[in-house]
Amino acid sequence: MKHLVKLFVITFLYFVCTYAFAEQKIAYINMKYILNESNAGKNAQEQLQNTVKKDQKKFLEAQKKLKADELDLISKKSELSKEEYKKKSDELRKKVGDFQNSRKVALNNVAKKRANARTQLLKALDPILESYMAENNISLVIDSINVVRSTEGTNITKLIVEELNKKISSLELK
């Protein structure tokens, strides 16, 4: 029993007094900067903006035509019979409903393209981060949103953007 207590005390002191000399390196990146400022990210944003502008122009023209049709119908209300006015009014409502649905589909399409671009960019970024972490013995990379304070040299955003720009210059949005 006496030897057991001595063994326990010595083991306890050994574990308490032993220090781990393993150094864990942590770095952070600004994901928003990478997604917006990399060549591929800028290219994707430009493609999305062009799609949105084209859709807005198309929908503005369609909206003007619907407004003109509405004003024309209102001006002819007294000339048309009740049944004919109701028929034309229903047709106009159907056109407005179709317009709203096509606008919603276009907005959803842009949202899907944006999500697809983000996914493609993150897939391209993952092997770059892995190789950088292996080369520099970094054990953890976190987003800068979660960083309160850090030392110089732990922000690797610009290095990663440079590597990403070397790997891909543009994205093909589907």
Q: What is the pLDDT of residues 78-137, one digit of tens each?
A: 888 888 888 988 998 999 999 999 999 999 999 999 999 999 999 999 999 999 989 988
Listed residue (137, 129, 150, 151) closest to 23, CA to CA: 137
The reply to whether 172 falls in a domain is no
- How many angstroms separate the CA atoms of 123 and 126, rounded? 5
Structure tokens at 66: 């619907």
Please give the tally of structural domains in the chain: 1
The reply to whether 174 falls in a domain is no
Domain span holding position 147: 2-167
- How many angstroms separate the CA atoms of 7 and 5, rounded? 5
- How many angstroms separate the CA atoms of 158 and 93, rounded? 53
The reply to whether 61 falls in a domain is yes
The reply to whether 75 falls in a domain is yes
Listed residue (120, 122, 103) closest to 57, CA to CA: 103
The reply to whether 173 falls in a domain is no
pTM higher than 0.85? no
